Amino acid sequence: MTNKIYKTEEEWRKILTPEQFKIMREKNTESPFTCEFNEYKGEDGVYHCVACDLPLFRSYAKFESGTGWPSFYNPVNIDNFIFKEDYDFGVGRTEVLCARCESHLGHVFDDGPLPSGKRYCINGAALNFKK
């Protein structure tokens, strides 16, 4: 388990951009097809939580889902996430949060490719890429 990071909402506002704050702290979603990482097929590396730098996904686990958000089929470490049932909008989904800072990242679905069969649909504004 990672060391938790606790900050006030005011402290998060100083660290995150207004868009990142809305997504990560208020659980909003960025518009589809607007994030730089949606179609990013860069070099080998790791996507990290932009709020606390926790490693989340390796670049090889990214795939094109056609949804408009970066999608991954396997995390770096499952313990880097918290999963919560989400029934907003009347639809049952599983919310994905960063285990270190408890920021909202996106949702996970059971319609991804093998080997996991999972599709982690993540807001690109919540990610930072490191080579």
Active site residues: 121
Place of tokens 């926790």: 54
- CA 7, distance to chain mean position in Å, is 19
Give the angle 50-54-58 at the CA atoms, nearest 5°.
95
Q: Could you give the C-alpha distances from 127 to 55, 88, 114, 120, 122, in angstroms and in order?
A: 10, 23, 23, 13, 8
Cβ partners under 8 Å of residue 88, min gap 6: 27
Across 4-118, the runs of DSSP E, i.e. the strands, are: 46-49, 55-58, 62-63, 71-72, 81-86, 93-98, 104-109
